[in-house]
Structure 1
Amino acid sequence: MLFRRVFFITLSSLLCTPAMASIELTENIRLGGFGSTSISQSDNRTPLFISREITDETCYDCDTTFGLQLDVGIAEGFGASGQVVKRTQDSWSDPELEWAYLFYEFDDFEVRAGRLRLPLFLASEYYYVGQAYPWIRPPQEVYDSILGFTFYDGLSLSWDYEISDELQLTVSPYYGFDRLNKVELGEFLLQFDTEYMAGIYVDLTGFNYRIHSGFMQAKYAQRPFNTTQKLDIYTLGAEYSYESWQFMAETEIDRLQANWYASVIYAFDDLSPYITYAESHQLRKSKGVTAGVRYDVTSSISLNAEYQMIFSQEEGNRAQFVTSPLVYGESADVDLMTLSVSFVF
C-alpha cells in the first residue's frame, strides 16, 4: 500500500521513490507533481470547511489541488526546492507558491531559508498530496484549526540524531518574519498582520512508528484592529503500524480551542477501509465520524469513497462550517458524501 510506505517521509522523498519516479531533467534537477479532485455534496446549505465551502449542491472542484515541485542540487550539500500549488481556494490562473527555499546540509544539520512549510502536524510536509495519506482530506478538526495557513517566510535549523539503528530523533527550531496573512471565511476576508512566528518541532521516528510534537508562538494584529496579541499553539501526533493495521491520532491546543482525532486503517491488498473519530471544543464545538475506503489503482493513482457525519455540540456555533448554520436557517448537523481521485507523477 502506497500510503503505508510514505507516512514517515517528506514529499521530496515521496517524489523520488522508484515506484513514483519523478522526471529527471538533468543529473541534479528533478521535477515531480501531484493532484487530487473529487465529487462532493452535503445535506446542508451552509458552506462546510474553510477553503472548500462544500454545500448541498454537487461540487466538482471543492477538493481540487494540483502541484509541481522542482528540486535542484547546486553543489555538495547545497540545493534548492520550490513547490507551486493550485490549492482548493485558488483559481487555476492564480496558484500559490507554497515553498521556495535554499538549503545546506552539514554533518547532522540542515539549514533552510526562504518560504517554508509550517511543521505543526503529522501531514504538514505533504498536506496537499492526497496520495500520501489514507483519507480524502486530513481531519478538518485539527488541520483547519489554524485557518488553513500552511507556510511562513523565514529560517529553520534541523538536527538529526540516530539514537539507535531503528530510532531517529529530529529537533528543528524555526522563525518566521513579519507577513500579512489572509484567509477568506465565507463572505469575510480576515487579515492577520503577523509580526513574527517562532516555534520548534521534535520528531521521534522508529521502524513502524512516528511521534511528532510541535510548539509555535505567533504575535499578530487582526486588521483593521491595532491590538497586538500572542497565540501559543501546541500539537502532538502519533502514527503506528502493525501488520495490516495503521493507527493515527493528533491533537491541537491553544487558548481559543482544543481539537483532536483518532483514525484506524486496515489494509488488505489494494483496498484500505478506515474510520476516523474527531472532536472540536471551545471556539468550534462538534463531534464527527468519517467512514471511508481507499483503493490503490496503481502505485501512483488512488480512489477514495467517504461518508462523513458532523454533529454540532451547541446550537448556533460554527462547528466545521465557515459560518453559523443559523445564517442559512439550517440544522447544526451535516452529512457529507465524497468520491475522489489522487495521483502523483
Structure 2
Amino acid sequence: MFKLSHLSLSLLVVPCSGLAAISLTDNFSISGFGSTSITQSDNSVPIFVHREITDDVCYDCDTIFGLQADLAITDAFNASVQVIKRPQDEWSDPELEWAYLSYEYQNFTFHGGRLRIPLFLVSQYYYVGQAYPWARPPQSVYDSLLGVTYYDGLSAAWQFDLNDEIVMSVSPFYGFGRKNDIDVGNSTITVDADHLAGFAAELNGFDYRIHFSYLNTQYTMTTDVNPQKETLNIYTLGAEYLYEDWQFMAEVHSDNIQSNWYLSAAYSWQDFTPYVVYEESHQRRKTKGATVGVRYDVTSSISLNAEWQGVYMKRSDYEQGDIGQFIYPPVVAGEDKDANLYTLMLNFIF
C-alpha cells in the first residue's frame, strides 16, 4: 500500500494530501494532513531543532496539522495555499507555508508567491508524514537549514521526455530577501538573507528518481556580536530506487560549513513496512545516527510508526563542546553524549 502511493507521489511531485482531496466544486478542492506522536529520549538535553525531545514523555513534539486549498482558475492558471501548524508553532499561530499562482504553457510551468525550497527528495511534502516511510525525515540532512523550508519569489519548471521511459525536469528559482527568526531552545537566531537563487533538476524513471539541486544565498546572522555578510553555496544529491518490495533512498548535502548524508532501506510486506536508516553529520554538527522502525498502514490514508533512533557523538567532540543534534552542548549540562529516542507516530491525510 505504502509503496504504490509513494511511487505515484514521486512521479507527480505533489503533496500526498492531493491524493485525498475533497472536491467542493469542479475547480476547487481542499485537502489536509497531520501527524502526532508519543516520544521520549533518555537524555535530558533537548534534541532535534524545533522538536526538542527530552527524557520527559512528549505528546506534542511532532504535532503537525496542515490544510491546503487548490483552485483551477482556468485550464492554465492555478492557485494553491497551504497553512501548517508545524512542530514549533502554537495552534493559534500556524505558518503560511506556501501561497502561489502557477501558469502552464506547453512543457513549462511558472510559479510566483511563497514556494517550497526544492533542495531534497521529500522537500515538496516534508510535513506530510503519510508520504514517506519514517516517523521523521533523517535529521542529518533535513535539519541542515534549521527548519527553513520556503521562500518568497519566482520559479519556472521545464519538463521533457529524454526517451519513452525517462522524464527530466529542470527548475530555476529566485527568492527575494527576507528575515527568518529561528527559535532554538530559549534563544532566537535571526537570519537576514539578501536573496536565494538556484535550480533543481530531477530524472524520473519507471522505478527510480535522481534529484540534484544548487542554492546560493548571502545572509547575515543578526545575533552575531559583529554581524558580517556571509555567502553560502549548497549542493544536494539524492536518489530513490524501487526494486520489487524494496525502497532505497540516499541523500547528500554539502555547503561551506557542513556535510551530511544518509542511507535508507525499507521493505513492504502486506500492510507493514520495516525500515532502517544510517546517517552522519560532519563539520558544523559531528554525529552519527541509526534508526530502526516499522510502519503499519491502517488504511490508505492512516498509518502508524513505531521507531527507535540512536544519535551518537565521539568522546573528543563531546568534550570540546560540540552541539551534535542537541539544542545545546550536552557537556554543559553534564549529560551523556548519546541519546536513544523512542517514538510512536500517527500520520493521516484527508
TM-score normalised by length of structure 1: 0.97
Counterpart contact for 1:3–1:132, Cα < 8 Å: no
Aligned partner of 1:235 in structure 2 is 236
Given that 2:138 and 2:279 are in contact with CA atoms closer than 8 Å, whether structure 1 keeps it comes out as yes
What percent of counterpart residues are identical? 53
Deviation at 1:251, TM superposition (A): 0.7
Does residue 249 (structure 1) correspond to residue 250 (structure 2)? The answer is yes
- Contact residue 288 and residue 310 of structure 1 kept, 8 A: yes
Look up the match of 1:319: 324
1:5 partner letter: S
Where in structure 2 are the equivalents of 1:213-232 lying within 5 Å? 213-224=212-223, 225-232=226-233
SS in 2 for 1:102: strand
Matched, 1:89 2:91: no
Whether contact under 8 Å (1:10, 1:126) holds in the other structure is: no
Matched AA of 1:271: F
User: What is the alpha-carbon distance in structure 2 between the residues aligned to residue 87 and residue 95 of structure 1?
Assistant: 7
Output the amino acid matched with 1:323: Y
- Determine if contact 2:240/2:250 at 8 Å carries over to the other structure: yes
Taking the TM superposition and a 5 Å limit, the aligned residue runs for 1:256-267 are: 256-267=257-268
Report matched runs for 1:34-113 at 5 Å: 34-113=33-112
Distance 1:212 1:79 in 2: 25
In structure 1, give the amino acid aligned to 2:290. V
Q: How does 1:247-326 map to 2 (within 5 A)?
A: 247-313=248-314, 314-315=317-318, 316-326=321-331
Q: Cα offset for 1:134?
A: 0.1
* Equivalent-residue separation in structure 1 for 2:110 and 2:227 (angstroms): 34
Where do 5+ consecutive residues of structure 2 fail to align?
Answer: none
Aligned residues: 342
Q: Secondary structure of the equivalent of 1:317?
A: coil
**Pairwise CA distance, 1:6:** 2.3
1:133-282 equivalent positions in 2, closer than 5 A: 133-224=132-223, 225-282=226-283
Task: Report the Cα offset of residue 9 of structure 1.
Answer: 4.3
Q: How far is the alpha carbon of 1:282 from its aligned partner?
A: 0.7
Shift of 1:227: 1.2
Q: Which runs of 5+ in 1 are unaligned?
A: none
2:101, 2:308 → 1: CA distance?
41
The 3-state SS of whatever aligns with 1:58 is coil
Residue 243 of structure 1 and its aligned partner are, at CA, apart by 0.3
Amino acid at match of 1:318: I
Q: Which amino acid aligns with 2:230?
A: Q
- Deviation string for 1:38-87 (max 9, x for gaps)? 00000000000000000000000000000000000011210100100000
**2: CA distance between counterparts of 1:50 and 1:248?**
23
Query: What is the CA deviation profile of residues 250-269 of structure 1, one whole-angstrom value per residue up to 9, with x for unaligned ones?
Result: 01001111100000001110
